[in-house]
Structure 1
């Protein structure tokens, strides 16, 4: 079993992007953590789950999308398709066997994209405050008429962030490219066990998104758990415990 390392390893993708990652050896399937928008692999959930998987001898992978954390590229140059591509290339390069995807926020959307691209390689999924199609249904739909004009004419809009003093910069490319990655407008078949966790006090992803996803997705073993009072971070000890149990449930039901 591999020991924790403070320094990441790096993977060069065919697109020329340098992806930072930590891969923990162990039994399969490999649990893959997919982070959120402007997040990185040093977040509470990613590091906690790495430790949890290591203790149970489960293989685990966390990484930074391009433009995030310790990976190459500028965040403002990226879009959903680029980050899904990073995830796909990283998983295919580093993991031979099946994977269980754990997607947080934007990572939930990317995990759903990967469930189509990776096919039978995906044996299960856990979504944490999953935010499918958020560039269209939250960002674009929430812009004022003036913001939409500014996005088209200036190529960007700045939004206040509750997580940072620096504003969110939303690029025209992020919105327009995101429209080619939408998963709630087409059939979404999940042939494996999937668990979705959602807090009722999430200010970034409304409960309606989780309910819409559960209603839209097709599959024989799909469940949504609503946690009263939990926020978007979903990182309290109780919430982390729920994530652990969801992963264990999916691995057990998937026959692993």
Structure 2
């Protein structure tokens, strides 16, 4: 994996890692979940697996995640969309002839769906792992009255989750979520979408994933007994195998 930092559209740097030789016909842009990073175990595993099929990968950190130089004040939905756009443009410069596709997890999947629905994406093929398709509802249901009071009084909260680095969530981020409902924004024809989801996911409900798949014609694979991370050996193996099949179909 090679390390690179690119300048984003929002004025800050975007840390990236990628696995490209220069001759790939397909490159998958990988987007991580909330509180994770470009070098998560799933991202690394997918990148390694796809390289065996001559498919390149390009991972990046969202604002306030991983090695990002900015804090949670910059964690806004438009900023995340701009970062994905900047990464995609850079991948186009590196490999102008390659087909672009997407692999994204949880919050990253939510961002990817908004990107596909509201921007002009170069790729039309996206695989979503444990997609947080109802991100606004997820935050509404998990925010306590005390946290809402803090949001009102100081403008942000610091959730007590096992994130890789402390994450400031601002009142503006909550407002962004309410303005971006993927069930209203997405269209069945915007991309070919594959999904994989644990049927015991208590973070992003599989019920919402089923509803999204039915409404927009996505192909949903459910992993029996798996939670939000799907990180058991058999679960991770199923994620990798399903994603590889999705990205290698019609490949020579």
The 10-residue stretch of structure 1 (88-97 or 105-114) with the greater mean CA deviation from structure 2 = 88-97
Determine the structure 2 residue equivalent to 1:243. 239
Q: CA RMSD in A?
A: 2.5
Say yes or no: does 1:213 pair with 2:212.
yes
Aligned to 1:183: 182
In structure 2, what is the equivalent of residue 154 of structure 1? 154
Aligned residues of 2:200 and 2:227 also touching (Cα < 8 A): yes
8 Å Cα contact 1:127-1:197 kept in structure 2: yes
Please give the residue correspondences for 1:28-47 in structure 2 after superposition, counting only pairs within 5 Å.
28-47=25-44
Rounded Cα–Cα distance in structure 1 between residues aligned with 2:50 and 2:26: 11
* 1:37 aligned counterpart, secondary structure: coil
TM-superposition CA deviations, 1:43-99 (whole Å, max 9, x none)? 101111111122222111111112211122113431222112111111112233432
- CA offsets 1:128-185 (integer angstroms, 9 cap, x no match): 1100241x21112443445434322331234432x25987643211101222332112
Partner of 1:114: 115
Task: Give the alignment's TM-score, normalised by structure 1.
Answer: 0.85
CA separation in 2, counterparts of 1:120 and 1:139? 27
Question: What secondary structure sits across from 1:27 in the alignment?
Answer: coil
Does the Cα contact within 8 Å between 2:133 and 2:209 map onto a contact in 1? Answer: no
Following the alignment from structure 1 to structure 2, what is the Cα–Cα distance between the partners of residues 159 and 11? 29
The aligned length equals 246
* Residues 166, 255 of structure 1: alpha-carbon distance in 2 compared, 3 angstrom cutoff: closer
Return closer, same or farther for 1:14/1:166 CA change in 2, 3 Å cut-off: closer
Per the alignment, in what secondary structure is the counterpart of residue 185 of structure 1? helix
**8 Å CA contact retained: 2:15, 2:61:** yes
Query: Which whole-Å CA distance do the structure 1 matches of 2:78 and 2:164 have between them?
Result: 27
Give the CA deviation at 1:125: 1.1
1:138 matched to which residue of 2?
Answer: 138
Equivalent-residue separation in structure 1 for 2:169 and 2:115 (angstroms)? 24
> Please, which moves more after superposition, 187-196 or 96-105?
187-196
For the structure 1 residues 11 and 169, does the alpha-carbon distance in structure 2 shift closer, same or farther, using more than 3 Å as the test? closer
* TM-score (structure 2 length as normaliser): 0.86
The equivalent residue for 1:90 is 87
Name structure 2 gaps, 5 residues minimum: none
**Unaligned segments of structure 1, at least 5 residues:** none
For the Cα contact (< 8 Å) 1:22–1:62, is it kept in 2? yes
Q: Which residue in 2 is equivalent to 1:197?
A: 196
